[in-house]
Every structure is written in C-alpha cells, then in structure tokens.
Structure 1
C-alpha cells in the first residue's frame, strides 16, 4: 500500500473549534473509557492520552511541542483530564515529567520516519487511584486485517471519550500501523484498542497522523506500534529523563514504581 502523508499538526484539536459539538453514541453508563483523557495544552490546544498505569499516560510525541513555534511545551503548561465528559473530568492531574522517543525531531519533514518515532510517555504529579478510572492493559500489536477501535476527543466529539466504529488494520510497515480508521482534529495521541470477545479493551497503538491511500484516495490513519518503543519510554521515565533541568528523581522524591528496567539505546 502506498499512501500520502498529511501534516501531523492537522490532528491537534482546539477548544475553539470544538465548542458546540458533543460525542455521538456515548452513554453515561459506559465508563470503559474513563482512563482516556484530554491532554490540555497552551493556546486552547488539546490532544488525547490514555492511562496505562495510575501515573503514566501514553500519547503522541508531537503533542509535547507548540504547533506554532515548534518549541517544547513547558511541563507546567500541560494538564491531563481523565474521563473528561461534558465540561468535567473524573480526575485532574498536572505533569511531573514527559519523555518522547530518542531521535524524535518535531522539525523533521512530515514523513513515515517521523511517525515511526511519534510516541511519548507522561508521568503525572500524583497517581490516579479511582475505582471508576482503571488504567488500560497493553496488548500485542494486532495482525493485518484485525479489527481495532480508536477512542478520542476529536473535533466533533470533544466533550466525551468516544469509541469510533471498528476499523481494520490494513498494513504494518516498519513499526507503523496503517488503519482504515478516519481521524480528525484532536485525535493526536488517541489510543487504538483491540477488543476482546467479552468487551475488554487492550491498548495496542497510538494515533500519530492522518493520510490518504494514493491508489484509492481513501482516508487512513497512521499509528505507532507500542512493542519496543513503550519499553524504552518506561525506562526513560524511570531514570527521570523528562524532569525539568537540574531536577533528579531523588531530589523530586520520586520512587521507581513503574519499572525496574534499565534504559538501552535503540
């Protein structure tokens, strides 16, 4: 499959664009997606993120950069709103540190090489321990042809986390998953799930960009495989690589709760 990559910034959302829109097909009783949240950024921008532990949120790396200047977003300017629904969140958390994959370059051309490294992990200031907000288990990447679902705060459903209709994994290319899911503004960092027969979701990927199939013109979305990249990010967080300059995990009073892994350069 050949596809034309579109600009990654197309997937950022803004609260100005989102006003007046509400999610479709989201019942108050369906709380499976409470661990999906809006990642609030400066200038009314937002992305989507998902909890994979009480303190760790996975999202896209480009969400950590200012879309207009290309500069990294200050940690103090990021907030995670777990289970954001119609103007209220089930939990509000500030960010302690944020890391992206080594060699990710926000200023690089919007191509597949950039997508392949477009993954970030955020450590929250305080864990979210709430019986209605259960972090997602991560699963193995699905096989080609498998059905998956994307949960996001896109521009026409920005007020509640919504599972889109199931779509298919069309192809896997060197760590990039090409999905038939059609995504829009606000979908950056959205979790991609495999759904078990009993309805239990497993997080298998994260949305990075939207694209178009060159042969058919059909819209597709590009997501990054979590397998090895997530292990690298967990190790970076454990080492405090994303803490503000001059601050160590010891001086910040952070214990190595999430992983005992040592960082190995790819």
Structure 2
C-alpha cells in the first residue's frame, strides 16, 4: 500500500471539494464530540509556528502524546525547536481555548522523514510518536485529564474511536466513534503498526486511537500516524510501543 502522512504540517486547506480525502470514508461518519466529556476533554490541538496543526492527548499533568511528524518543519523535514510548538486545549468555535507552551519533547528512536513531509522508507514506522513536556511556568492541566496508555497490543476487531481537529472543521473536535482495529502490519525489520478503520483527514495526525474498557475507563491504544489514500482508515503506532520506547528514552 502507498502510505502518506496524514497531512498535518503546512497551512490548512480550505473546506470544499478539493479537500484531500486522506483516510476518509466515502460516506461521512464523523461527528462532533463534547469537550466536556471523557475522553474528548483530554484531546487538544498541537500547533507549530510554521503553520502545522495536529492533534494530541493529555497523558500527564504536563505531558501530551502526539505524532513525531507533527513537530517537523515541512520544508526541511527537520525537528522544530520546542518553543515553536504549542498545545491548545478547549478550542471550539466559541473559545480560543487554553494555550500551553512546550518546554521539551522526546520522540521515537530513529524517527526521520523527508521534506513534504513524507515518510522515509528507511525509518522505523513505529518511531512516529512524541511526548511533549509543557512549560512549567503555566499551571498544570486539571486533574483527571490524563489518559493511560494501553500496556499490551489490542486485539484485531476491537471497537475504538479516533478524533481530532481536522482540516475541514479546524475549530471543532470531530471523531469517528464506530471504527475498529483491523490487525497489524510488520515491516522488514519486524516493527509493528496497528491498522484501524477510523475515518479522518488532515489534522488528525497524532490523535489518540481510543479504547473503552469494560469498566468504562478510556485508554490510548495507539497514536494516529499514517493514512491510506483512497480508503477509510490508517495506521497507528501501538501504545505499548510508545510505553516501551519512551521509558527507555527517559532512562526508565
């Protein structure tokens, strides 16, 4: 399959017939979700000084999970400086939300991309994740927002949801609430990516693939990374991979 990054970097296209339907179903299935309810109250906008717009999820009082390619300068495919990245929570048509600066970030080992940005076939696909540490001068995010990461791989056929601040509704959080995990793909080096059926377009990159447990709590099953052109769904970095590699990057 020809894969492309789910277009977060660069200016947002205007809504209309010309909007790229990357990973978007032929029939509209996405719907507006409430910023007051779990898990969507934990989802926000990741914005960069070069015009990039992606999605991120709160995973700690000062930490946000997103995709590594969301932090690229699209012209050079080099990582931006942390001060060029911000996280906005509570963005809506009626509110500019609360903006937090980024003090630092870590990202998947070996992650690189090509200008555009486009995937680098020599890079490990499951390295497309990043954890942002928010500016310590700003107040901590409210208690109870942090979403836990799944500790194990999610079974194919599991119901999930994927939402984000997408290119056709840039100030509205919209989500596909009725999609599933389809299985896993493995590259030549054995690295796994999680395939899902969720409908989304540009701006959904970095958004959490969300799973509701039997007790009603939500967990992050994966991080939205790539989409398949011409059909609904895409690929996510498994949350279990993020847990493993982030712990190693931070020395445990």
TM-score when scaled to structure 1? Answer: 0.75
Confirm or deny that 1:136 pairs with 2:133. Answer: no
Cα 1:115–1:228 change in 2 (3 A) is closer
CA distance in 2, matches of 1:87, 1:80: 18
Alignment of 1:97-176 (within 5 A): 97-107=104-114, 109-111=119-121, 113-126=123-136, 128-131=140-143, 134-139=145-150, 140-174=152-186, 175-176=192-193
Aligned alpha-carbon RMSD (Å): 2.7
Unaligned runs of 5+ in 1: 239-261
Unaligned runs of 5+ in 2: 17-29, 187-191
Alignment of 1:143-222 (within 5 A): 143-174=155-186, 175-197=192-214, 199-212=216-229, 218-222=231-235
The partner residue of 1:47 within 54, 63, 66 is 54
Q: 1:106-154 deviations in whole A, cap 9, x for unaligned?
A: 23854495422111111111353325x6111222332011111102111
Bigger strand share: 2
Q: Is the 8 A contact 1:48 1:188 kept in 2?
A: yes
The partner residue of 1:5 within 2, 5, 9 is 2
Cα 1:112–1:149 change in 2 (3 A) is farther
- Of structures 1 and 2, the one scoring higher in RCO (CA 8 A, sep 6+) is 2
Q: 1:158 Cα shift?
A: 2.1
Structure 1 SS opposite 2:113 = coil
TM-score when scaled to structure 2? Answer: 0.79
